[in-house]
Amino acid sequence: MAEVKRKVSSASGGGSHPVIQPEVWAEFFRNSRRACARLITAVENHPELVPDIRDRLAGHEKGAIRIGITGPPGVGKSTVTAILARREIEAGHSVGVIAVDPSSPFTGGAFLGDRVRMQDLSGDSRVFIRSLASREGHGGLSPSTPYVADIFDAFGMDRVLIETVGVGQAELDVLDCADLVLLVLQPGTGDIIQTLKAGIIEIADLILVNKSDLAGTEALLESLRFLFDIGVRQRGRPAPPILAASAIKDQGMDEAHAAVERLICGLVESGQHLENRRSRLEREIRAAVEQDLWEKFSAVTDAESEIGALSERLVTACESPYPYIRGLTSSVRFTSAKGKPGHD
């Protein structure tokens, strides 16, 4: 870990402007798992490195399919993820696994499943497992998740499985960086209500009722089918496949994996895969432009302190903030459509 820090620390050793050393890139492109791990650590700990990392990865990404695996806490997401990863490997794919959950069994070393032990997977060169700490305010995903998926893609993984923290509404974030969303539920917990409220049922491409070895599976399957019959789904999207499995017993997982692969085929054939990529890029570009403009704006206007002072002043005044906002932003001029912002 100390070595990772050193390799991404500043050239002068100060750490305020970290850079990734050329040898790390050289190793990464020679397929070094250690270098891959270093890049992931860099992107996690130094978001400011994202532009440089994205520049370097360009041309190496091949369009890995990103599969979000979401659902309430404890339903078996990690168990399902491990088995799907194994199935993908057996089908000839290489798999990156991102487990956004510090308490996930992925971090603990010993995997709980009877059939699939995590050690089996972690010793396999066709799979790369990485746990990311979810950060407050970012729902079920760590903000670095999409970039870690980009790194896996450029590293040659063609499937990226992303397990989210089971937190409810914020799991909708999964949609932002996944091509497919697999919703895992379990019988007998009433979780269906929680997922309905959060809107996850609407975005799921596949619903897997896990723990089908427990009582209540049929009832949950019935309720789900009923929900889709009465039109819980918006915008004319077809009802997703609803399957039952017992991941711990490795029952029903062949069917679940086949359903995932069928969905992937559909995505690729329809071009939806490219459309997903396009909209991810659009969001990334938009966010980067906003960030860049904000930094330039606040550098020339002292906007941070003006906004602070303005909100202090308005909190007890019955005034609209907009005259002040217009005053603040109208002081910025764009010299031409292609010009750079200036300031009076």
Ligand X SMILES: Nc1nc2c(ncn2[C@@H]2O[C@H](COP(=O)(O)OP(=O)(O)OP(=O)(O)O)[C@@H](O)[C@H]2O)c(=O)[nH]1
Given 211, 257, 273, 280, the residue binding ligand X (CB under 6 A)? 211
> Is the Cβ of residue 104 or residue 142 nearer to ligand X in the bound state?
104
Chosen from ligand X, Mg ion, none, partner binding at 134 (C-beta under 5 to 8 Å by type): none
Applying CB under 6 A, among 56, 66, 77, 87 the residue interacting with ligand X is 77
User: Which residues face 276 on adjacent strands?
Assistant: none
User: CA dist 244 to 12, 84, 172, Å?
Assistant: 56, 14, 23
Where are any strands of DSSP class E within the chain? 65-70, 95-99, 127-131, 159-163, 180-185, 206-209, 242-244, 332-334, 341-343
For residue 264, the minimal CB distance to ligand X (Å) is 22
Choices 55-63, 115-123, 154-162, 210-218 (CB under 6 A): range interacting with ligand X: 210-218
Region from 102-110, 146-154, 309-317, 324-332 binding ligand X, contact rule CB under 6 A: 102-110
CA–CA gap between residue 148 and residue 130 (Å, rounded): 9
What token pair was written down for 165? 């923290």
Please identify, using beta-carbon distances, which residue of 101 and 153 lies nearer to Mg ion: 101
Q: What is the token pair recorded at 76? A: 């078996």
Measured CA to CA, the distance from residue 79 to residue 85 in angstroms comes to 10
- Count, in order, helices (H) and strands (E) of the chain: 16, 9
Compose the 65-104 pattern: x for residues touching Mg ion by CB under 5 A, - for all others: ------------xx----------------------x--x
Residue 68 contacts ligand X per CB under 6 A? no
Rounded Cα distance between 33 and 155, Å, is: 9
The nearer residue to Mg ion, 44 or 101, going by C-beta atoms, is 101
Among 74, 266, 308, 342, binds ligand X (CB under 6 A): 74
Q: Considering CB distances under 5 to 8 angstroms, the limit depending on partner class, which of ligand X, Mg ion, none binds residue 74?
A: ligand X
**How far from chain centre, in Å, is Cα 181?**
11
Residues 230-269 that bind ligand X (CB under 6 A): 246-248
| 246: β partners | 251
Given a contact cutoff of 8 angstroms between Cβ atoms, the answer to whether 244 and 209 are in contact is: yes
* For ligand X, the closer CB: 75 or 84: 75
Q: Nearest approach, Cβ of 207 to ligand X (angstroms)?
A: 14
Interacting residues with Mg ion between 305 and 324 (CB under 5 A): none
Dist CA 142 CA 287 (whole Å): 16
| Number of residues binding to ligand X, judged by CB under 6 A | 20
Choices 101-109, 266-274, 292-300, 333-341 (CB under 6 A): range interacting with ligand X: 101-109
If one asks whether residue 78 binds ligand X (CB under 6 A), the answer comes out as yes
Beta bridge partners of 129: 97
Q: In the β-sheet with 242-244, what is the strand arrangement from edge to edge?
A: 127-131, 95-99, 159-163, 65-70, 180-185, 206-209, 242-244
- Among residues 7, 40, 57, 76, which is the contact residue for ligand X, using CB under 6 A? 76
> In degrees, to the nearest 5, what angle opens at C-alpha 181 toward C-alphas 47 and 189?
110
Q: Which of 89, 214, 258, 310 binds ligand X (CB under 6 A)?
A: 214
Give the one residue of 166, 168, 187, 240 binding ligand X; rule: CB under 6 A. 166
Q: Is 328 in the site for ligand X (CB under 6 A)?
A: no
Contact residues for Mg ion, defined by CB under 5 A: 77-78, 101, 104
Contact residues for ligand X, defined by CB under 6 A: 73-79, 101, 103-105, 112, 166, 210-211, 213-214, 246-248
